[in-house]
Amino acid sequence: MRANTAESAAFKRKSAFAWVWELAPRERRAFGACVGGWALDAMDVQMYSFVIPALIVSWGITRADAGVLGTAALLASALGGWLAGWVADRFGRVRTLQVAILWFAIFTFLSGVAQNYEQLFVARALLGLGFGGEWAAGAVLLGESIRAEHRGKALGVMQGGWAVGWGMATLLYAIFFTLLPAATAWRALFMFGIAPAVFVFFVRRYVEEPPVYLESRAQLAVHGERPAFFEIFRPPLLRITLLGGLLGTGAQGGYYAVMTWLPTYLRSERGLSVLDSTGYLAVLICGSFCGYLSGGFLADRIGRRLTFLVFAIGAAIVVVTYTSLSFGNSAMLVLGFPLGFFASGVFSAMGAFYTEHFPTRVRGVGQGFAYNLGRATGALFPTLVGYLSASMSLGSAIGLFAAIAYATMAIAAFLLPETKGKVLAA
């Protein structure tokens, strides 16, 4: 018995995730809630990229129409993230997280029962409010709950939950589209998206508000004050707000340009079958997961700013190579891993960066606005790719906008100050 205990302790010390065992129970519960919530959010959101071909065939819509549906959700998520950040400052991080999860689950389900393009547009747009709100509440909650030396890693793992949710969406897509006709399968896939609503019960019962937030709220109450909605637009926070938005624009514009259209690209221009496309996406998702985790570890090791630069440059090079040059199946499969690695890893340090730059009293609204300003402007990229693909190849359109996006991110990263190891204060 003692030998087993000793071996277990040694494993925990040597494991790359040894830091998780150093977390207090309160920290681990917040960690589990935020990672799980983001994974389920990703599952619901990523379903849309898989149903684009079925929608085009079933409803006779164009690629541009499909791009508008994707952009509607992203634009609404920008508003949702901003509002959720303010609500999180005013009413609590945990309560806001619960509402956001329930919201996006309900409207994913309603997407499956839409009877026409207009109804689906409304459902996707309303889903976006919860999509953006989940990240805003979850990232602030986790950033405030985890101690400084592990904050980057924890938020990197949280971002890694996106790859897990993406993988779940891929698996569900393969199951539903194998068992059902395409015209029915896309509806069943969306209706399954109600499942994350069950996760709300875990959050409600086990997750606590961060002590630094409770202390800040108590201080505001003593002075009869409330969180200032517009403080982030005044110096000295204005510069951080704008540069953070520019950083988010580059990261998310590149990501959504690639990930919204990649499944369609693999079918139409590479001539891959459904099974082959799923195989490519599996490699891409594995690369994404590793990129998220690596980005989080690097953020705590070399700093947030340098991590942004490394991943932005790597993503630009890989995306342009992947979409502009012709490769055989084996080479394309291999290139899927670094594509996912760099395109996703750019997000790992963002949560920690935003958390460490905004004061606690306006951290929710500041983080929600900066990240989602990037999401709102980056949301235009899928629509632009759709329109541009009418005059050039879809692969070239993806590559062009990805290159622009990651160049923007690299410039913003160069202008941002470093915050590694910062201890949060009320």
- Structure confidence at residue 263 (pLDDT): 65
Grade residue 196 by pLDDT with cuts at 50, 70 and 90.
Answer: very high
Q: What is the pTM of this model?
A: 0.87
Provide CB contacts within 8 A for 358, sequence distance 6+: 232, 237, 240, 366, 367
List the alpha helices (DSSP H) in 92-116. Answer: 93-111
Domain with residue 273: its CATH number is 1.20.1250.20
Grade residue 5 by pLDDT with cuts at 50, 70 and 90.
Answer: low
- Structure confidence at residue 275 (pLDDT): 38
Reference 384, options 63, 49, 53, 47; nearest CA is 63
In a domain, 375, yes or no: yes
Is the pLDDT at 251 greater than 90? The verdict is no
| Cα 364 → chain centroid | 17
In a domain, 381, yes or no: yes
Omega before residue 236 within 30° of 0, cis: yes
In a domain, 7, yes or no: no
Burial of 195 (0-12, 13-18, 19+ CB in 10 A): middle
Is the pLDDT at 16 greater than 90? The verdict is no
Grade residue 228 by pLDDT with cuts at 50, 70 and 90.
Answer: confident
CA distance 174 to 172: 5
Q: Are 399 and 283 in contact (CB under 8 A)?
A: no
In a domain, 14, yes or no: no
Radius of gyration of the chain (CA): 21
CA distance 205 to 232: 33
In a domain, 225, yes or no: yes
In a domain, 18, yes or no: no
Residue 110, classed as helix, strand or coil, is: helix
Provide the residue range defining the domain that includes 104: 25-415
Reference 349, options 312, 403, 402; nearest CA is 312
- Structure confidence at residue 269 (pLDDT): 72
Burial of 377 (0-12, 13-18, 19+ CB in 10 A): buried
In a domain, 421, yes or no: no
In a domain, 1, yes or no: no
If one counts the domains in the chain, the total is 1
Cβ neighbours of 10 (radius 10 Å): 10
- Structure confidence at residue 150 (pLDDT): 95
